[in-house]
Amino acid sequence: MSTRVLTGITTTGTPHLGNWAGAIRPAINASTLPGTDAFYFMADYHALIKCDDPARVARSRLEIAATWLAGGLDPERVTFYRQSDIPEIPELCWILTCVTAKGLMNRAHAYKASVDQNTAKGVDPDDGITMGLFSYPVLMAADILMFNANKVPVGRDQTQHLEMARDIAQRFNHLYGGEYFVLPEVVIEESVATLPGLDGRKMSKSYNNTIPLFEGDAKSLRAAVMRIVTDSRQPGEPKDAEGSHLYTLYRAFATEAESSAFRKELEGGMGWGDAKQALYERLDRDIAPMRERYQALMAHPERIEDILQAGAEKARKLATPFMAQLREAIGLRRHTAIAVANKATAKKSSKAARFVSFRDDDGTFRFRLLGADGQELLLSRSFENPKEAGAVMQRLQAIGDQDILHVDGLAYTAVLDGAAIAQGPAAADETQRDALLAQVRQALAAQG
């Protein structure tokens, strides 16, 4: 059985060397692992939260797609698409918004940080805060839940958003009485490489200290490497390899043997100029072939578009029927379906009684028997796995109205093989209890 893994990439900038080593390269490598069903998407709706420059967003979408493809992502093996090409995602986002507590969004780190900054400035707490920023975690939840991803690799700063996605999924499942959404697991990428930039701080466009990946040509890459800050030790003086940004960058791309040799040369007195040249040559050995593919793709954006449209079609084959199922669950049914259901109900109202299964907050599995009016008539005990719960539910359906109900004070219990497997609701008095017993027996008879 495959594990579905989903990763999103916000389209607000041009990928640099740090993005490649820290996120893109490991994700592409992970997509080749057996048993992995990988979904990679460009989060261009998310980009609108951070950027209001249309040209920048459009350019970034193209550059990021070209980077992933040039880096070796196989669109035949994975599902690679743009968020904005899947109309079911914003539809699901609205549905999830309607079941998400505002208090949950109030606790989002990004929103709280913006409020704190405004408070420190002495301005209105919500100054400059858009609904996009405020409800960002709901859109992220829709991205994940739309395809029922099992695992979502994120940095530690994104953990809260995954926890929120789980909370929202549980709320929906509970509210509508079904296992519609898988609860995604957070995968913290502790081993992801964080590369130093030109000044030694984390490589980031915010610090203006990045090394280009494909921008420009080999000369641009070499020029950037030559600007890396080093200490004042002269050629012939031993260098501190572990404390050197050059060595950290070199090690992120080289083999163990190559890294060991480079370290010895630094500790043996290699000059910083020669070390930078060696780093440039090692980087360009990996980057040059990818840069050539990148430039070919950027010269023919229609090729990228064809790949993304094929990815969107692949993704929508899952999203469209799933959204139809969700629309049915929340009552947005077609009128023809309602008419057929009403006709069947008129013939035999007890047919509306039904079993529904769900996953509880503790990870165990349970089921309910709901009456024609939606009232809970039975709630099962917890089961360790869904097959066990399903087997018991099927037995109850087959048994029908046989005498399995036992009065327990003002409540009642369903018993199979001498063990209590489900409990009825507590009544206010014996009259109400007996009425519930009659209703549950009728509902079970309709199942049999």
205 is annotated as contributing to ligand binding: yes
Q: Give the integer Cα–Cα distance in Å for 138 and 100.
A: 8
431 is annotated as contributing to ligand binding: no
Please state the rounded mean pLDDT for residues 294-322: 96
> Is residue 209, in this structure, part of any structural domain at all?
no
Least reliable range by pLDDT among 104-113, 358-367, 369-378, 398-407: 398-407
Considering 289, 309, 344, which residue would you say is the last residue of a domain?
289
**Residue of 432 and 188 predicted with greater confidence:** 432
Domain check: are 88 and 159 in the same one?
A: yes
pLDDT of residue 345: 45
Q: Give the integer Cα–Cα distance in Å for 26 and 23.
A: 6
- Mean pLDDT, the chain, integer: 89
pTM (two decimals): 0.72
Domain check: are 256 and 360 in the same one?
A: no
pLDDT of residue 193: 64
320 is annotated as contributing to ligand binding: no
How many angstroms separate the Cα of 446 from the Cα of each of 351, 354, 369, 374, 422? 6, 9, 12, 15, 18
For residue 383, give both structure tokens: 């089961």
156 is annotated as contributing to ligand binding: yes
Domain check: are 170 and 88 in the same one?
A: yes
Residue 188 has pLDDT above 80, yes or no: no
> Is residue 18, in this structure, part of any structural domain at all?
yes
362 is annotated as contributing to ligand binding: no
195 is annotated as contributing to ligand binding: yes
167 is annotated as contributing to ligand binding: no
CATH number, domain with residue 252: 1.10.240.10
pLDDT in tens, 148-162: 999 998 877 788 999
> Is residue 346, in this structure, part of any structural domain at all?
no
Most confident residue range from 86-95, 191-200, 204-213: 86-95
Confidence of residue 344 (pLDDT cuts 50, 70, 90): very low
143 is annotated as contributing to ligand binding: yes
Domain check: are 19 and 146 in the same one?
A: yes
382 is annotated as contributing to ligand binding: no
> Is residue 266, in this structure, part of any structural domain at all?
yes
Confidence of residue 356 (pLDDT cuts 50, 70, 90): confident
31 is annotated as contributing to ligand binding: no
CATH number, domain with residue 87: 3.40.50.620
CATH number, domain with residue 359: 2.30.29.80
Domain check: are 22 and 114 in the same one?
A: yes
Using CB atoms within 10 Å of the CB of residue 54, give its burial: 0 to 12 exposed, 13 to 18 middle, 19+ buried: exposed
pLDDT of residue 40: 96
pLDDT in tens, 367-377: 888 887 778 88
155 is annotated as contributing to ligand binding: yes
> Is residue 342, in this structure, part of any structural domain at all?
no
Domain check: are 142 and 240 in the same one?
A: no
157 is annotated as contributing to ligand binding: yes
Confidence of residue 347 (pLDDT cuts 50, 70, 90): very low
Domain check: are 278 and 400 in the same one?
A: no
> Is residue 337, in this structure, part of any structural domain at all?
no
Domain check: are 161 and 277 in the same one?
A: no
Domain check: are 146 and 254 in the same one?
A: no
> Is residue 114, in this structure, part of any structural domain at all?
yes
Please state the rounded mean pLDDT for residues 73-101: 97
> Is residue 199, in this structure, part of any structural domain at all?
no
Domain check: are 367 and 404 in the same one?
A: yes
**Enclosing domain of residue 418:** 354-446
Q: Report the number of distinct structural domains present in the chain.
A: 3
pLDDT of residue 352: 67
Domain check: are 15 and 135 in the same one?
A: yes
Confidence of residue 190 (pLDDT cuts 50, 70, 90): low
210 is annotated as contributing to ligand binding: no
Domain check: are 155 and 268 in the same one?
A: no
Q: Are 112 and 129 in contact (CB under 8 A)?
A: no
Confidence of residue 133 (pLDDT cuts 50, 70, 90): very high
pLDDT of residue 348: 42
